[in-house]
Amino acid sequence: MFKNNNNNKCPICLDIIDNECFTACGHSFCLECILQWQSKRNCPCCRADLKLTHTQRIIDLQAEIARLEGELKTNKVIRFFSIIGDFFLSFV
């Protein structure tokens, strides 16, 4: 389904892909590159139609992943301090 780029390079900026984003046609780009390119309304590799909704879903998913990662880090810190607190309370 997804088409591999040579050495994971973005076809737009020709650099290593940062924050990878896939188009509906299966090509991968840097998220920032494809967002800037999107006004041209076609895939820079195969000229297939680009749709804002597809890219927007990826942005929404990345935001949700970032939110969940933040919650996970917070929960780990709370759990760590809970364990440490229980450890020290066992000596009292």
pTM of the entire predicted model = 0.54
Give yes or no for residue 37 having a pLDDT over 80: yes
Q: Which residue has the higher pLDDT, 40 or 3?
A: 40
**CB neighbourhood size of 46 (10 A):** 11
Residue 49 is given by DSSP the state: B
Domains of the chain: 6-89 (3.30.40.10)
Residues 18-36: tens digit of each pLDDT: 888 888 888 888 888 988 8
Spatial distance between the Cα atoms of 20 and 35, rounded to a whole number of angstroms: 12
Spatial distance between the Cα atoms of 48 and 38, rounded to a whole number of angstroms: 11
What is the pLDDT confidence band of residue 1, given thresholds at 50, 70 and 90? Answer: very low
Residues 47-85: tens digit of each pLDDT: 998 875 566 666 777 778 888 888 888 877 777 777 777
pLDDT at 49: 87
